[in-house]
Structure 1
C-alpha cells in the first residue's frame, strides 16, 4: 500500500552540511556524510541533498562528494545542484543516485527536462520550484538561492512541467524556510489543485504535527523538512533525527 513519504532535506555549502533561515546566512551544522550514516540507521523513506553553491557559482556538480554520499546512502537518494545537461544527469545517476533535481536550469530552459528524461528516465527527473509570497496575495518564483526573480506565473509553470513529463515536483517555500512554524498550506493547495504530478512540499515543518497535518490534508504526498531533522528542542541544538515508530503511527495510522 502506498503512503506519503517523509523526506529529510540536507543543504550543502562549502562541502559542509548547513541550515538556512529564509535562504539566508547558512549555518554550519556538521558533516553531510556523517548525517547520511545516522539517517541510514533511522530507516528514512528518502533523502534529498541540495548543493546550494553550484548554480550560484556556475560550477559543475561536485561528483566526488556525490559519489561519497551515494556510496554511503542506503535509501532512495535525490541530488540537486548545478545540473544543466543530460550528460551531467546521467553521470550522477551512474554514481548511484536515484533522482536528479533541477531548478534554474529547468525554469530557464524547460526543453532540457525532456533531454534528461530520455537519458535517465522521466521518473528520475525532479523539478524544485522556490517560491515567495508576493505583495498581492500570489507567489513569485525565484532561483539562485532566492536571489533571482523569475518572470513566470506559478500555476502556468508547474503545468508546463507536468506537460513535459517530469517525475516529481518539489515546492519550496522561501518564507517558511528554517522558521519551523508549519507549511504554507495555501501554497500547497494552489499547486495540488493545478497538477496531478507527485508533489513534495518543503519549508516550515517544525513538528511531527505539521507533517501529520500535511499528510492528512493531501493523503498521498511528500513531506520534506530540513531543520526538523537537523535540530532538536527550542534552543535548536544540532541533532540528526527522524520519525520514531510512534511518530509514524501518529501520521499514518
Structure 2
C-alpha cells in the first residue's frame, strides 16, 4: 500500500472541498483553502519521494497553478480535470507523468469508446489513468459523472474493469458517498475493488486516521493505494501528514524489495 498525495485546485487555489457540492446550484462547501501555492505542495511531495499523486483541476481557472505544480515535480504527479485528447499531450510536456480522464470518456451515461480510443492514440496506454467515481445503487457500483450527479450505465465489476484496464495504466477510484467528508473509508467499496482490480489502483474517500489506514490495508489486501486529502494537517485536518508518510514507508519496509 502506497500513499498517493493530492493537490486539488479550485479557482486557482489549493483547496479541499466536498466534491458533491461542486455544481452550479449551491455554494461549494470548502473544508480548507490554503495560503500556500500548488508548487509548495509539489516540492514537499518531491522531497518526500511520493510519486503517483494527482493534481486535479476542479473547474476552469486552474491551469497556471496546475502547470506550476507539474513543473516543480516533473514526472512525479498526474493531472486530471478537463483532460481531453486535444490537450492531454500538452500537460505531459509540462511534466505530468500521466493524464487522468473521466468525463471525457463518459458521455450521456455511456462509456464513449471513440473518445477512449482517441486519447489512447494521443498519449498511449502507459500514460493514461482512468478515474472511476463510484456510487452504490441497488447493491451494485456505478460510475457517476456530471460533477457526480448523473449515474452512468457503467457498472464497476470484474468484467468491465478487466476490459477497461487494457486501455490504461492505472485506475483512480473516488468513493463519492464519503469523499471530502472525513467520515471514514468506505469498507464495502474497498473490499469490492480488491476483488476486481489487477492493475495499480488508488482509492480516494473518507480516510481520517491511522486506524483507517490500517483497516484499509486489511480490506484492500495490499492491492490498493490510498490518497488522503482534507483529513491531513497540511490541508487543515488533524491527521499528521508526516505520520501518514512514515506509516506507509514502514509498510513498504516490512514488505521488502519488490520482485
For the criterion TM > 0.5, the same-fold answer is yes
In structure 1, runs of 5+ residues without a counterpart are: 55-60
- Map residues 100-139 of structure 1 onto 2, 5 A cutoff: 100-108=99-107, 109-134=112-137, 136-139=138-141
Q: 2:225 aligns with which of 222, 229, 240?
A: 222
CA separation in 2, counterparts of 1:169 and 1:189?
15
Partner of 2:142: 140
- Please tell me whether residue 43 in structure 1 is matched to residue 49 in structure 2: yes
SS at match of 1:182: coil
CA contact (8 A) 1:20 1:178 kept: yes
CA separation in 1, counterparts of 2:248 and 2:212?
12
In the TM superposition, residue 147 of structure 1 has moved relative to its aligned partner by 2.3
Worse overlay, 191-200 or 91-100: 191-200
In the TM superposition, residue 129 of structure 1 has moved relative to its aligned partner by 1.0
Q: 2:169 aligns with which of 121, 146, 167?
A: 167
SS at match of 2:168: coil
Q: What is the TM-score of this pair, normalised by structure 1?
A: 0.81
CA separation in 2, counterparts of 1:173 and 1:251?
25
Partner of 1:29: 33
Q: 1:191 aligns with which of 178, 190, 193?
A: 193
Relative to structure 1, the CA distance from residue 194 to residue 40 in structure 2 (aligned partners, 3 Å threshold; closer, same or farther) is closer
CA separation in 1, counterparts of 2:113 and 2:232?
32
In structure 2, runs of 5+ residues without a counterpart are: 22-27, 255-259
- Please tell me whether residue 67 in structure 1 is matched to residue 67 in structure 2: yes
SS at match of 2:87: helix
CA separation in 2, counterparts of 1:194 and 1:29?
35
Instruction: Work out the number of aligned pairs and report it.
Output: 239
CA separation in 1, counterparts of 2:40 and 2:177?
29
Q: Deviations over 1:160-199 (max 9, x none)?
A: 4124x21111110111112223322311222332342221
